[in-house]
Amino acid sequence: MKEKIFKTICIAIVFILISCSEKTIGFNRSNLEIVNRDLISVETNTLKLDHRKGDRLVILKNVNFDIGTIEIELKGENIPYNT
């Protein structure tokens, strides 16, 4: 009986650890919808868009966001001495 309980607990722990693993979503042109911008380049987890006035929107297609954390870092144009 104790062995059966131990096996059940071990299996439950494995499933919990697998479901908590971190997943990184890679960018490619096929899973992005970009509004009011042109895509200049796609590198490892980095998008570079062109510069023009107006609002912009990037949508990740075919990605399931059920549970977890979304981390994003946004950078503006790199112009020294310009605020």
Tokens 């977890």 belong to: 68
Q: What pLDDT, in 10s, does the model give residues 54-77?
A: 888 888 888 777 776 777 777 777
Closest CA to 23 of 67, 73, 74: 67
Side chain identity at 69, as an amino acid letter? T
| pLDDT at residue 22, rounded to an integer | 67
Sequence spans of domains, the chain: 25-64
**CA gap 15, 19 in Å, rounded:** 6
Give the chain's mean pLDDT: 76
Q: Where is 54: in which H helix or E strand? A: none
- The model's pTM is 0.54
